[in-house]
Structure 1
Amino acid sequence: MAMTEHHRLREVSLNDQRSLTIHRFGQPGARPKVYVQAGIHANELAGPLTAHHLADRLKAADEAGQVVGEIVMVPIANPIGLSQVQSGEHFGRHDLETGGNYNRAFFDVSDAVLQAVMGRLGSDAAENTRSVRSAILNALNEVTPRFAIDDLHVELQKLACDADIVLDLHTDSDAQMHLFLDPTQWPNAEDLAAELGVEVVMLARASGSNPFEETIAAPYVTVHEAHGEDHPIDVPLTVVVELRGLADVSDELAGQDADALMRFLQRRGCLAGTPGAQPQFTGVAAPFEHTTFLWATAPGIVAFKKPLGAMVEAGDVVAEIIDVSAMSTDGARTPVAAETSGKFFARSLTKLARPGQDIGKIFGTTQVEGRVGNLLSD
């Protein structure tokens, strides 16, 4: 039966109380368990609107007895960031108290979990997975949050840590639909990519700085790799779904995406019903190391010379940074060229550039030399 609960977050200022709204569908504790959250970057509003449309559909499905297992949804995963408004401008990506990115520095409890289950796993995958889930929750319960952002992080992890499928809804600045997921989950997640009409799938194990979905998967992956196939466990499907760009917020798109997610859940056996024929995935999937950034090398106003979604060649001028204070156009434009060939799939919605600013992304056809370490922009 569908229900809503409110989990109070730690009070960090006198008489200032925030909570997480949690929607639950199906039977608590039943399998498969699906966890959906939206808006950890609180300025990315397409996710919460899509979650709202999805919740309406799930409520109807639950009332019709069509939810198989349990579905947990947090439609607003960051009430702290949602309230950060200064001089009429919303700042939802970074925590104003600590400066931290809201989708970085989640708690990786892999080492504690591995130690807890060492020598306890057998040949039964279901029993092994239960042991790992229990160890993860125990490890998270031992975490002592320092700041409000840490308290938020650990509470979200507790809600998601035992799920079979985890969907973290985001948006880029101005972009085509794309996904982030662990390399071991491809092509397992091709049905999700196809349903959503995704153009780009980026495969990453440790992209840098412990984002949410990677820290959910990390303990399972660590235990699996340490024990091998003789001691099998079920590794959850954890996916970041980038629902286009910041400005792509509408009932039409949110409803379309919610319908696609419903069909995905039907196909995965989480909902009863017939999803119809699976669409064909026509995008491209490759390691995250294939992605390169377009960097501004001068201050000015950005004028893009290639449309979003264009295939570009290395050396192509994708944008120009214009010094509009110059009287003449001669010498007033600084070209920004592609370092690699590939799809120009994301760009900055902000057109005022400063040196060193990321103004776009290209998903290359080959791995970029030296593209290692922290792969995420902040």
Structure 2
Amino acid sequence: MTHFIEKIELKTATPGVRRFLKVHRFKSKKPGPKVYLHAGLHADEWPGLLTLQHLITRLISLDEQELLAGEIVIVPFANPIGMDQRLNGSVIGRYSFSGEGNFNRNWPDLTPAAQACLLKNPKASVEDVRQALREAVAELPTHTPLCHLRAILLSLSIDADIILDLHCDSQALLHIYGHHLQSEQSELLAKHLACPIVLLEDEVGASPFDASHVTPWLALAKYSIPLSCFSVTIELRGFADVNDHLAAQDAEGILSFLASNAITTAEITQQPPVKTRVTRLEGVDTISAAVCGIICWKIALGDQVDKGQLIAEIADIEADNPLEGRTPIYSKTQGVLFTTTLARLVTTGEIIAKIAGPEPLENTHGGSLLML
């Protein structure tokens, strides 16, 4: 057996409070890639938490049968800080109460360490670069609980070949965010997950967790160093899509993808095929509410829409005549409605929907995930 569990104590700012991470490691004697997965970095996004429970169960069984290769590192809950942030009974898990911002923004850019490695030794190998990244992570500041948490997570993940960061949207279809230079791997992952939407970015903005891993390798392209880390964000549908059926299905899809990367030799049940739409992020119509009011949808999640089609109306609850107090919302592209807001009372400027379309749109700001 290669499975062992580690408990890592985290820095705390409050007397009497202790936090920790639990880490599941499967490290086989058989050579193979290193894979890192975690869930709940945005601590109010829970589908991935249950998916990893099912995946760990499957991996324990495969490990007992000696059917694993390489190394698999799983952090089943990546953000104890955010999970502890409750207000009036609700978890407020996207932003830190400490004032340090969004938990999935402004992760360290380790590009200088990777470049310094190549400048010092132009013949440096992929492993040399990984060692330089490990050393850079070891020097990261840990003066706040959040800084310490980030440094710990990066120490577990920075040298992985494959990184899967599990999130969810408000209400959504299963979808994947990846870099356009890794489109083939992203589409393969989508195939195994039966994922209908893949969104490819051409620039990395605001430094989310997944980008912190791939950005150094992108910067080394001019040195002919291969892009040696496949790092993506998987959006496991919406907030409410937390159940054993979906979690087991997604865990099996992830396991099937790992099998395609020679991490297990087990026979994995294939998901029924789905048609996957691959869209550059600049082709996503990100729709904001023009006014405040009650949103009334005219189409459903997953529907195909045409450019200029009426997709919703916002009812003005201050209107003297309700029949005249409706503001129409139209699609700017032809495509698939893949996310909608869970809220029904919306505020002016709030993002209420996203449509994956084929053509770049003038109303977007480049091809970065964080510009959506």
TM-score (norm 2): 0.94
What's the CA shift string for 1:52-92, capped at 9, x where partnerless?
11001011111111110110000101111111111111111
Task: Name stretches of at least 5 consecutive residues in structure 2 with no aligned partner.
Answer: none
Q: Which residue does 2:295 correspond to in 1?
A: 302
Q: 1:268, CA displacement in angstroms?
A: 1.3
- Quick one: which of 117, 137, 140 aligns to 1:143? 140
Q: Which residue does 1:45 correspond to in 2?
A: 46
Q: Which residue does 1:372 correspond to in 2?
A: 365
Q: Secondary structure at the match of 1:226?
A: helix
Q: Which residue does 1:226 correspond to in 2?
A: 222
Q: Which residue does 2:333 correspond to in 1?
A: 340
May I ask how many residue pairs the two structures share in their alignment?
370
Tell me, yes or no, if the aligned pair for 1:84 and 1:91 is still in contact at 8 Å.
yes
Q: Which residue does 1:133 correspond to in 2?
A: 130
What's the CA shift string for 1:279-334, capped at 9, x where partnerless?
65611112211112111111111111111111212221211111234453222211
Q: Which residue does 2:91 correspond to in 1?
A: 90
In structure 1, distance between residues paired with 2:270 and 2:19: 43
Q: Which residue does 2:317 correspond to in 1?
A: 324
Point out the more displaced range, 15-24 or 170-179: 15-24
Q: Secondary structure at the match of 1:187?
A: helix
Q: Which residue does 2:6 correspond to in 1?
A: 5
* Counterpart residue identity of residue 58, structure 2: R
In structure 2, distance between residues paired with 1:369 and 1:153: 36
What's the CA shift string for 1:8-32, capped at 9, x where partnerless?
1122222322111101112389531
* Counterpart residue identity of residue 265, structure 1: L
Q: Which residue does 1:103 correspond to in 2?
A: 104
Tell me, yes or no, if the aligned pair for 2:51 and 2:247 is still in contact at 8 Å.
yes
Q: Which residue does 1:265 correspond to in 2?
A: 258
In structure 2, distance between residues paired with 1:344 and 1:269: 35
In structure 1, distance between residues paired with 2:137 and 2:9: 17
Q: 1:370, CA displacement in angstroms?
A: 5.2
TM-score (norm 1): 0.92
Q: Secondary structure at the match of 1:186?
A: helix
1:239-254 superposed matches below 5 A: 239-254=232-247
* Counterpart residue identity of residue 107, structure 2: F
In structure 2, distance between residues paired with 1:90 and 1:276: 35
- Quick one: which of 169, 172, 179 aligns to 2:166? 169
In structure 2, distance between residues paired with 1:194 and 1:376: 25
* Counterpart residue identity of residue 80, structure 1: I
Tell me, yes or no, if the aligned pair for 1:129 and 1:234 is still in contact at 8 Å.
no
Point out the more displaced range, 202-211 or 64-73: 202-211
What's the CA shift string for 1:188-213, capped at 9, x where partnerless?
23221011111111111434210111
In structure 2, distance between residues paired with 1:265 and 1:43: 27
What's the CA shift string for 1:104-141, capped at 9, x where partnerless?
1111110232123225143xxxx711011011111112
Tell me, yes or no, if the aligned pair for 1:193 and 1:281 is still in contact at 8 Å.
no
- Quick one: which of 152, 155, 161 aligns to 2:152? 155
Q: Which residue does 2:200 correspond to in 1?
A: 203
In structure 2, distance between residues paired with 1:142 and 1:29: 31
Q: Which residue does 1:292 correspond to in 2?
A: 285
Give the CA RMSD over aligned residues. 2.0
What's the CA shift string for 1:223-278, capped at 9, x where partnerless?
1x2202xxx33521111111111111101100111111111111210012123668
Tell me, yes or no, if the aligned pair for 1:113 and 1:136 is still in contact at 8 Å.
yes
Tell me, yes or no, if the aligned pair for 2:192 and 2:270 is still in contact at 8 Å.
no
Q: Secondary structure at the match of 2:121?
A: coil
Tell me, yes or no, if the aligned pair for 2:294 and 2:317 is still in contact at 8 Å.
yes
- Is residue 363 of structure 2 the alignment partner of residue 362 of structure 1? no
Q: 1:343, CA displacement in angstroms?
A: 1.2
- Describe the shift of the 1:281–1:115 C-alpha distance in structure 2 as closer, same or farther (beyond 3 A): farther
In structure 1, distance between residues paired with 2:182 and 2:126: 17
Q: 1:347, CA displacement in angstroms?
A: 0.5
In structure 1, distance between residues paired with 2:86 and 2:201: 33
* Counterpart residue identity of residue 233, structure 1: P
Q: Percent identity?
A: 34
Tell me, yes or no, if the aligned pair for 1:28 and 1:70 is still in contact at 8 Å.
no
